[in-house]
Chains A and B, each alone.
Chain A
Amino acid sequence: MEAHSSPHAQPAAIHVQSRPVAAMLILIGGIIAIVVSAAISICVGAADISISTVWDALFHFNADMTSHQIIRELRIPRVLAGALTGAAFAASGAIMQGMTRNPLADSGLLGINAGAGVMLAVSFAFFPGMSFVSLMLFSFVGAAAAAILVFGTGAFVKGGLTPVRLVLAGAAVTALLLAISDAIAIHYQVGRDLAFWMAGGMQGVEWAQIRIMSPWVIGCLIGAVLLSRSITLLSLGEEIAIGLGQRTGLIKTLGMLLVLILAGASVSVVGAVGFVGLIIPHVARYLVGVDYRWIIPCSAVLGALLIIVADIGARLFNPYSETPLGALIALIGVPFFLYLAMRERREL
């Protein structure tokens, strides 16, 4: 089994290359771009609203004006949800890829999307008509149970949570949960509802959801940045990390916990648009090098930007029946990612 994860083919990749200047530019430019695209996102949609109205709605709120209501109750929560989930998916994907040293890894691999999917299938089949907030909490429970199952399979046995064991346990749990939700969906004929939800979208995001998720997501993003140095060392290989005095078991547990909260909260709000978590870390790694102290914050910024832009697209494409967010993310992300993948050969 060892041969499959062998990172030793390229001993030259031991010293960590990074480009701090590029990373700083991405962080600053990315945040500016997020603010600009957030402003655009608030202005466009089925009803176009001018930027001065947006300003008034924020600072001279008038409850009698419909446009102020739309901005406060629909558009702003939507942009915030996009920024939070994008950052969360991308950062958790970066953590997963760093810890497993597998370019195919993302938060879905911890069973999170599939676990949320099972609970959604159960709630659509047995408790139709749940509120968004209950659906969110319900699917988070599913995500957490799946992650615990994956982590438990890997962690509580002799030899510990090796990267290979983690990805294999993740793939197996994911397949099992997908089969269960498929079976429920086919038997109770809720497949279309489930597919629509999982395809991703932010119509109907409420302030209540933002209030519940934002402290957790922001806290975990900070946690991810604090943990990033250890993740860089772990990405060099288990032996090297131990040799450098890292407590690898503790770091992996913390890392998994961060991934669970970040990705679990995001999936339960916007659905399985986890592709962000797969491609954005690769893009960030290409741009800033293999140091996770830069990859994680840059991934968060780029992920937030990607979801906000894709969500603008989802509304512009066809304002009256929104295009699934996941499809637009792929439409924007795939060509760019493909270009990077073909151009450069690089290590994790």
Chain B
Amino acid sequence: MVNHHLATPAELARKRRAFRILALMGGLVVAVFIISMNTGTLRLSPSEMLQTLLGSGTDQQELILYQFRLPRIVMSVLIGAGFAVSGCILQGVTRNALADPGILGINAGAGLIVILYISVMPLDNSIFLLPFLSLLGAGATAALIYSLSYRRHHGISTIRLLLVGIAVSAGIAAAMIVLTLKLNPDQFKFVQVWMAGSLLGTDWRFVTALLPWIIVLLPFVFYKSRVLDVLNLGDQTAAGLGAALNRERLYLYAAAIGLAGSCVAVGGGIAFVGLIGPHLARRLVGPNHAYLLPASAMTGALLLIVSDSLARMYEVPTGIIVAILGAPYFLYLLTRAR
């Protein structure tokens, strides 16, 4: 709505500041990306890395960089951005600060499928079918929650969506408890690591499976940033401004489900990024979604690259590092009142 009147100097200053922060974050993502290529159990010095990139490294260096490190780093960027933007959409549409992909049952649906699959299939050959199945689980759960909270002529009311989401997720969580307790220790460990979120064993096939979702959905969501601004004003105001609420909300929910569902499928339950990423970004660039959405994507990517680099070094699930790094910083930001 900024474009309907002449920009005041204060607005211009805000805009300049937001652009500066976005540029700075972009630079940080690139820097962390490069540093992350150097870290891991086997260190590559910057010059070795450069040589390997230019094609004159040893076979071992090429293997480490191209087959182990790069896919994981690219995956961190995609998953971090995907979860954070998904969370940003959901916080905007539901106008609830606690909203994250979990409210649409994404984690619960994918997790249930993973546990079911692990209970019946042997662990060794489960790796390639699993992302596909968990995407189906996530999508089906989200569709169930959405359709249960849909009413003809009224569309989706946020409060009903949240409540139905609570109920469905809780039901699935209960089923998961019962199934989990029947697993043997190896299966249990696999599920536990999956739930915590881990990028161990990522290869280029996973990256190419995830990439189309991100490439299509992120620009679409950025294009809809003004709709999110309007929805944030509240239903009555938004309707008064002529927004076709139900249709726009459906598009946005669908985009959020697509992003988070595809990310859960390959990365497991790292969804805390989806809650915290948008909040961190909001503190940096403010509530205007034109800046908030890209800032969320970059915050998510940054958080995940750093966390996954540490996870590689200490051999713990990535999601655990995300929470251990992200939560204290977030708490610190919260104590600085605004």
Contact = CB atoms under 8 A, between A and B. Distances in A.
Interface of A: 1, 3-6, 8-9, 102-105, 153-154, 156-159, 164-165, 167-169, 171-173, 175-176, 178-180, 182-183, 185-187, 189, 191-192, 195-196, 199, 275, 278-279, 282, 323-324, 326-331, 333-334, 337-338, 340-342, 345-347
Given A5-B97, A179-B323, A182-B320, A342 B177 contact: no
Given A183-B320, A192-B188, A333-B170, A153 B337 contact: no
Contact of A195 (B180, B282, B334): B180
Contacts of A3: 95, 232-234, 287
Interface of B: 91, 95-98, 103, 148-149, 157, 159-160, 162-164, 166-168, 170-171, 173-175, 177-178, 180-181, 185, 188-189, 192-193, 196, 232-236, 272, 275-276, 279, 282, 287, 316-317, 319-324, 326-328, 330-331, 334-338
Contacts of A340: 163
A29 to B, nearest CB: 24
A279 B331 contact: no
Contact of A334 (B95, B171, B334): B171
Contacts of A331: 171, 174
Given A104-B98, A334-B174, A337-B167, A183 B180 contact: no
B162 to A, nearest CB: 5
Given A1-B282, A278-B166, A338-B164, A179 B173 contact: no
B239 to A, nearest CB: 11
Contacts of A157: 334-337
A183 B325 CA distance: 13
A82 B233 CA distance: 44
Nearest to A348: B159
B97 A278 contact: no
A334 B276 contact: no
A103 B166 CA distance: 9
Contact of B331 (A103, A158, A173, A275): A173
Nearest to A272: B177
Contacts of B326: 172, 175
Listed from nearest, the 8 A-B pairs whose CB atoms lie closest are A330-B174, A179-B323, A176-B327, A341-B163, A158-B337, A159-B337, A334-B171, A327-B174
A337 B163 CA distance: 8
A172 B331 contact: yes
Given A103-B163, A341-B160, A153 B335 contact: yes
A153 B167 contact: no
B97 A341 contact: no
B275 A171 contact: yes
A305 B174 CA distance: 19
Contacts of A1: 97, 282, 287, 338
Contact of B196 (A165, A182, A199, A338): A182
Contacts of B103: 104
A330 B175 CA distance: 9
Given A175-B323, A176-B324, A199-B181, A6 B188 contact: no
Nearest to A8: B234
Contact of B173 (A171, A279, A330, A346): A330
Nearest to A167: B98
Nearest to A109: B98
Given A9-B235, A330-B174, A342-B149, A191 B275 contact: no
A338 B96 contact: no
Nearest to A105: B98
Given A158-B337, A327-B175, A185 B96 contact: no
A154 B334 contact: yes
Contacts of B322: 179
A165 B332 CA distance: 12
A176 B323 contact: yes
Contact of B96 (A104, A176, A179, A323): A104
Nearest to B151: A342
Contact of B181 (A9, A196, A278, A346): A196
Contacts of B177: 195, 199, 324, 326-327
Contacts of A153: 331, 334-335
Contacts of A102: 96-98
A204 to B, nearest CB: 16
A178 B323 contact: yes
A186 B163 CA distance: 33
B27 to A, nearest CB: 27
A169 B331 contact: yes
Contact of B330 (A6, A172, A345): A172
A4 B98 CA distance: 9
Nearest to A100: B98
A333 B327 CA distance: 31
Contacts of B181: 192, 195-196, 199, 324
A158 to B, nearest CB: 4
A340 B192 CA distance: 33
A177 to B, nearest CB: 9
B263 to A, nearest CB: 17
A168 B279 contact: yes
Contacts of A103: 159, 162-163, 166
A278 B166 CA distance: 9
A279 B91 CA distance: 22
A282 B319 CA distance: 32
